[in-house]
Chains A and B, each alone.
Chain A
Amino acid sequence: MNSTLLEVHNVTRSYGSRAVLKDVSFAVRGGRMTGFVGSNGAGKTTTMRVILGVLAPDSGSVTLDGSPLGEGDRTRFGYMPEERGLYPKMKVAEQLVYLGRLHGMSTEQAKASADSLLERLGLTERADTLVEALSLGNQQRAQIAAALVHEPEVLVLDEPFSGLDPLAVEAVLAVLKDRADAGVPVLFSSHQLDIVERLCDDLVVIADGEIRASGSREHLRSEHAKDRYELQLDGDAGWLRSETGVEVLEFAAGYALFEVDSPATAQRVLKSALAKSPVQRFSPAQPSLATIFKEVIK
């Protein structure tokens, strides 16, 4: 598989006196879906604009397979900005062909690519409809098509799933996975952490213009799971509170989520539990993305 590597190196950018990005570095690996999460104003859109060359960084650089990006590399990117934008008075297919040609395709190539994308996204019947006449969900699909029409080597998508119904999410996801499977690095941001959790292979978390965590989803999970356990008892678990080296995080009758100071403590807790009442479940807790997110942006 011929895969591409997109890297952001120590990028800093400020608007006036306000530093929006502080020494931002991360990698987006080819063939993987990378989720980019952060609160509003954390710097996601600015980072994406810097990657796309729409905005110049104050310092730092963006490289593709190790080489810095020049103006001629713009056509290698597919971009979907957060604020959706297509010409309202142009027909869907016409617009895709125009964007394809701006990226260097011939008219025929652009037409063929637009047709197949529209079909995959279920928009074939809308090909000759003016964009302004499309429903919001269909505009969103057209927007995805606009980012993909020139068969880009790198995809940068700001909130690609917002405003999509579940069917459309699946359609868009299938198209994106296809691209990822072909070795394309896919960076997408989203506020919907459950979607990110389900879709992404890698994760980059940004807060206040700083990268707080990045790496594979599994790695992040295990990193944050190591000292947390869940316990489900038949009897009451209230005695846990008085155990040394244990901090109870959540508690409900026979259920407890707790943090321990060492694996030995965890084993000791299990033994005490078995001695007191039958144990239904005892396991390291898999933190949800939302939990990890809350923790790392603190």
Chain B
Amino acid sequence: MTYTSPSAPAATWLIAEREIRMRLRSKAFVISTIVLMAAVLGSIVIGNLLGSNADLTKVAAVGTAAEYAESTKALDVTKVDGLDEAKQMVIDGDVDAAIVANADSPSGYTVYGLDQTPGDVVSAMSLPPTVELLGEPGQNPFLIYLVSFGFGLLFFISALTFGQIIAQSVVEEKQTRIVEILMATVPVRVLLAGKIIGNSLLAFGQIVALAAVAGIGLLATGQDLILAEIGPSLVWFIVFFAFGFLMLAALYAAAAALVSRTEDLGSALTPVTMLVMIPYFGVIFFKDNDLVLTIMSYVPFAAPVGMPMRVFLGTAEWWEPLLSLGILIVTTGATIVVGSRIYANGLLRMGGQVKLKDALARS
């Protein structure tokens, strides 16, 4: 009995599905994913605890001073009946300061501390002047740092991890020579497509899961303002990542097809790894440099980090992400064509590293 070849999409999916199945079976992969998610969630929760839930300074207050102290909402006020009692609490260390009304003081109150001026109590009791900003409200520099670092690191880790996984899987097939059976069964482009799609789905799934964890974490800790601020850039990041990763995956597969043994992977992958590192370090070092960020946001392999960053900073016009995405998609397509050629030519060449020139030469 003869069976008809599965259609190209069906065969591609079979290969992709095997890649996914084998990866999910790997303990190292599952554990590292969980650790990554825990790290994202942890940094959000800890950031929240450090930021908003700092303990209020405890004070003891007498009479009308107590009402005023409470109205500042910056102090944990204990009402007491007399000044002596309040002072005693300061001496005993139960509170950091005691506050009483004093008509002679310019501010109307006297603050008693123990051995130091209780600065936070003083500033809480002071009347702040009215402030109005004439320009656009600036973004919290700490948040800018966090977002640039977050995008950069996320892209870097994901691209490096999954790029390595694809490369490993290509070399494994070459090293074990099962690639000959596969090539005798399905066209090489189907083989490559299955590999790229399977691993890209995993990488993409991981990124979406991390973004979801970050979103849920921000909502659950009541930081919905921050979520609203980074939301659009997060969505762009995911879209750019999807295409950017496809491009890198093709490059990783092609580079890996040039060598025959896992031991030789390192040197073959170095150029691709450099491409991944540039946007990572670029966005961290140049997050304040508008020109560099603008260039980065259009260079295909740096755009997945550069453009979302500019969207977040608000320096990108509405059409800029679309244009950059278009450039990225075209480049990705071209990379896949060239990559699959190198891949096909490299697969059957065993022994030393295949020269790039030879791999590009004939099909």
Interface positions of A (Cβ within 8 A of B): 49, 52-56, 71-72, 74-77, 79-81, 83-90, 98-99, 101-105, 109, 146-147, 150-151, 153
Give the chain A neighbours of B15 by CB distance below 8 A.
102
Assuming A75-B4, A103-B5, what are 4 further A-B pairs, CB within 8 angstroms?
Answer: A54-B184, A85-B177, A87-B176, A99-B181
Give the chain A neighbours of B183 by CB distance below 8 A.
52, 54
Complex Cα spacing A76 to B5, Å: 9
Q: List 26 A-B contacts (CB under 8 A).
A: A52-B183, A54-B184, A55-B348, A72-B4, A72-B5, A74-B186, A75-B2, A77-B184, A79-B180, A79-B184, A81-B177, A84-B176, A85-B179, A87-B173, A87-B176, A88-B172, A88-B176, A89-B22, A90-B22, A98-B14, A101-B6, A102-B15, A102-B182, A103-B185, A104-B4, A151-B2
Distance of A19 from chain B, by nearest CB (Å) = 16
| CB nearest to B6 among chain A residues | A104
| CB nearest to A153 among chain B residues | B2
- For B337-363 the 0/1 string (1 means CB < 8 A from A) is 000000000001010000000000001
Choose among B3, B181, B182 the residue that contacts A75 (Cβ–Cβ < 8 A): B3
B interface, how many residues as a size bin? Answer: 20 to 34
Cross-chain contact B185 with A99 (CB below 8 angstroms): yes
Give the chain A neighbours of B5 by CB distance below 8 A.
71-72, 74-75, 103-104
Distance of B14 from chain A, by nearest CB (Å) = 6
B63 within 8 A of A: no
Give the chain B neighbours of A71 by CB distance below 8 A.
5, 187
Cross-chain contact B176 with A86 (CB below 8 angstroms): yes
Cross-chain contact B2 with A76 (CB below 8 angstroms): yes
B50 within 8 A of A: no
Complex Cα spacing A211 to B172, Å: 35
Distance of B15 from chain A, by nearest CB (Å) = 8
| CB nearest to B191 among chain A residues | A102
Cross-chain contact B1 with A74 (CB below 8 angstroms): no
Give the chain B neighbours of A83 by CB distance below 8 A.
177, 180, 350
Cross-chain contact A103 with B348 (CB below 8 angstroms): no
Choose among B11, B184, B186 the residue that contacts A52 (Cβ–Cβ < 8 A): B184
Cross-chain contact B4 with A81 (CB below 8 angstroms): no
Give the chain B neighbours of A88 by CB distance below 8 A.
172, 176
Distance of B63 from chain A, by nearest CB (Å) = 77
Choose among B2, B6, B176, B187 the residue that contacts A85 (Cβ–Cβ < 8 A): B176
Distance of B23 from chain A, by nearest CB (Å) = 11
Distance of B282 from chain A, by nearest CB (Å) = 37
Give the chain B neighbours of A79 by CB distance below 8 A.
180-181, 184
Choose among A81, A98, A101, A105 the residue that contacts B180 (Cβ–Cβ < 8 A): A81
Give the chain A neighbours of B181 by CB distance below 8 A.
79-81, 85, 99, 146-147
Cross-chain contact B178 with A87 (CB below 8 angstroms): yes
Give the chain A neighbours of B1 by CB distance below 8 A.
151
Distance of B339 from chain A, by nearest CB (Å) = 20
- For B137-159 the 0/1 string (1 means CB < 8 A from A) is 00000000000000000000000
Complex Cα spacing A99 to B348, Å: 19
| CB nearest to A102 among chain B residues | B185
Distance of B178 from chain A, by nearest CB (Å) = 4
Give the chain A neighbours of B22 by CB distance below 8 A.
87, 89-90
Give the chain B neighbours of A80 by CB distance below 8 A.
181
Complex Cα spacing A226 to B187, Å: 49
Distance of A93 from chain B, by nearest CB (Å) = 14
Give the chain B neighbours of A146 by CB distance below 8 A.
181
Distance of B136 from chain A, by nearest CB (Å) = 55
| CB nearest to A151 among chain B residues | B1
Known A71-B187, A98-B18, A103-B185; judge A85-B180 contact (CB<8 A). Answer: yes
| CB nearest to A80 among chain B residues | B181
Distance of B172 from chain A, by nearest CB (Å) = 7
Candidate in A71, A85, A98, A150 with the most chain B CB atoms within 10 angstroms: A85
Give the chain A neighbours of B178 by CB distance below 8 A.
85-87
| CB nearest to A158 among chain B residues | B180
Distance of B37 from chain A, by nearest CB (Å) = 25
Give the chain A neighbours of B187 by CB distance below 8 A.
71
Cross-chain contact A54 with B180 (CB below 8 angstroms): yes
